Structure 1
């Protein structure tokens, strides 16, 4: 067991890897607190970065924070450390989502360590993918990755894909007629700083460069962050007619399930990146309770869908900004 306190630089590297995780609208709703006594990193949710309209119960916030937790685990192994994780360790502190006690040397988890090179290569792609199918062997590997985190990844059949795409269009229509949802989405899809109203480089949100092209053949399988924000030279493109989707789910729908699903989501995304796949996520139908339950396949033993993934071969998408580690990490004396 590690007898010395981890160096501040090492803790910063661990958190720097953690925050490469995806989160809803790239809001990055996390805070990290390092306690030298015991070498413990606490992961807190940040309610100030919650989506009050589209994520009122903070399910998506938990998924994003849990994805960052998985990255922390990957980084720990890369640094020769073992992360002993506890989920939701204190019922009296609801925003304390997890703790990771770091000691060493790490158990030899080669599969986990191998994902470290994908951390900073994983990006959400809102660009068209090719029609080349994902090989069964790769898809089996992604299913195995989800199982390692206690979740299930399924590939919907043709009729189910059409159902999911129909639900995406339904969710988009609901967003179009709900001014509060549109305002919430627009606030995170801008190059303007919400706090100052000035243009400049943001460290969060979805920059216009990451919007991707508009679809020239009906609705696209990705969220269009530019629907209310014209962007010069954005361009048009033909998206795949039959996107390759996968559903990530859990047996129940508790906060612990959300934390497991977020870690499984990131493990699947990193494995897909390592396998040379481009990825994006389609969460619109999951943001409406009356639509979410219909996303699941009634013939599958999946209780609750936590995320819809789009997989394929194509542009990996541009890097989106991240908040400086100094903004998200507190080191206790």
Structure 2
């Protein structure tokens, strides 16, 4: 009975002899060094270090060796494969650096070259001015509040002390949605945002609400059925008209320059009592003689009508769940479109809404 084969038969395991393993290793290292880019290196990795590479196939032959020969063969093949792994990692790092440098060079953009044939767009000046106004009040510690364009009749009118017989509810002033029994309107002012704020929050409240509003006005140089307003609301303890005056003077100076102040003229609004029209000191002649006499901006008055304001009517506070015995407040509203016309000498409101990009690009990227 014959015993186990303990003899090393070099004929059966030629791929594992030292000379053959060295040759495969040198061939693979040469291919790695000769790879010119990452794509070529990937091909070399598959050919010389993949599952079907010569060294991988040789490694499978180790199990066929007698026990005393396996250790040396395993060491030779393992060291060769380790050398390949190290060389592949080093060469990949080199090629990645080269590829990045080449990309930076090839994809560099000459910013001095003529720009694309397609003209660039521009942000609308109404949008930019709305954001600038919001920034003025945020810097004072206020918050920006928003609301829906389609508003409930109660929030747009009743909560603001506009009774059922108020003329503003008629079709001559308001866009009503169908069906009528839903009692929805396109908001005629941003004041419903103030009502929503008081209904959902407790004082102190300091909010400003810029946005689009809708009324059935004629579309001409000074009117539009869709325009933009900014309204402010403060509800806190001890609020007076003096706080309102100081706030509007700061707002006016932020929009039209230092030294521009406001004045109040007695008026009537259902949601404020007392109420006032806000006039803006003319930013051209600054209300100073003799320039005021010839000023075409204010037409010799020295003042320009800007908006409305007043102390929040206690009925509005009660309707919105605020304790009118403890808290008082003020509110104001100005036209953003009108402010833009004042600031930049826009003579025709229709220019703002016709979609001509040349109008927007004239204002640049900052107002």
Q: Same fold (TM over 0.5)?
A: no
Task: Please give the range of the TM-score, normalised by the shorter of the 2 chains.
Answer: under 0.3
**RCO comparison, higher one (Cα < 8 Å, 6+):** 1
Q: Which has the larger radius of gyration?
A: 2
Kindly indicate which of the two structures has a greater share of residues assigned to helix. Answer: 2
TM-score, normalised by the number of residues in structure 1: 0.27
